[in-house]
Every structure is written in structure tokens, then in C-alpha cells.
């Protein structure tokens, strides 16, 4: 029987366009907001067409001493060039980049997941440490 973990793929984002790239400080001040950006295709561009696109990115935080992860946000991308004249004729496209501000009270891991309509689920992680 398959589990959700079996569905997710991972790789080095420098050589694979589907891996979410989490950009934020490695060390942060406790209870102080900091910026987090998640994108796909940082080194190798990912298409954004009606036929091949990123549908969503989700971001989670799992405290080092905790059992559960907490959802930070879920971000959908709905404009891929669809238009009344057909695929890739529309007036708008979204880019698969999201930014948010968060604060944490303890060290942990940010986990990002993304879904490509052709190549499935992808994940990555970024450790966050509280400054001593």
C-alpha cells in the first residue's frame, strides 16, 4: 500500500526545475518576523503554459521538538495562459513564486511542497535555528 510520502520526489534544486527552493535566513531571532520566499525553477526555468505548469505550493513548519508540522500557507497558481481562443492565448500568467513573513518560537524545519500538473509532487526543506 502506498503512502503520501511515496508520492513526493526530491532532488537538488540546482539541477531539477520542479524542486521548491526555500529562501530565508538559517538563523533567526525568537518571536521576530522574517521573510520566506518559495519558488520553483530558480536555476532551470519551469514552464508556465496551459499544458505544463505548477498548480500550487504549500509551506509548513515543523518544530524540532514537536511531532507535528503546522501549515504556514497554501498558494495556488491559476493563470497559465488559458484564453477564449484556446491554450496559451490568454492575457495573464502567474509566476510560481510566493513570499510571506513568519516568526517562530523554536528551531525547526520549513518544508515546502509543490505540484506540477505533469510531473507530480515535489518537496524540499530548510532548517531554521533560533539565535542564542
Catalytic site residues? 16-18, 46, 52, 116, 119
Taking CA 43 as the corner, what is the angle to CA 39 and CA 49, rounded to the nearest 5 degrees?
A: 65
In whole angstroms, what separates CA 36 from the centre of its chain?
10
Report the 3 state secondary structure along the chain.
CCCHHHHEECCCCCCCCCCCEEECCCEECCCCCEEEEEECCCCCCCCCCCCCCEEEEEEEEEECCCCCCEEEEEEECCCECCECCECCCCCCECCCEEEEEECCCCCEEEEEEEEECCCEEEEEEEEEEECC
Amino acid at each position: 500500500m502506498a503512502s503520501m510520502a511515496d508520492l513526493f520526489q526530491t532532488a537538488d534544486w540546482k539541477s531539477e526545475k520542479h524542486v521548491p527552493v526555500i529562501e530565508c535566513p538559517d538563523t533567526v531571532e525568537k518571536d521576530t518576523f522574517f521573510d520566506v520566499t518559495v519558488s520553483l525553477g530558480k536555476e532551470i526555468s519551469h514552464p508556465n503554459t496551459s499544458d505544463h505548469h505548477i498548480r500550487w505550493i504549500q509551506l509548513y513548519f515543523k518544530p524540532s521538538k514537536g511531532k507535528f508540522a503546522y501549515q504556514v500557507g497554501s498558494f495556488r497558481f491559476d493563470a497559465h495562459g488559458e484564453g477564449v481562443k484556446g491554450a496559451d492565448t490568454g492575457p495573464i500568467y502567474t509566476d510560481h513564486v510566493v513570499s510571506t513573513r513568519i516568526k517562530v518560537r523554536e528551531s525547526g524545519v520549513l518544508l515546502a511542497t509543490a505540484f506540477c500538473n505533469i510531473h507530480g509532487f515535489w518537496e524540499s526543506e530548510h532548517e531554521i535555528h533560533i539565535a542564542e
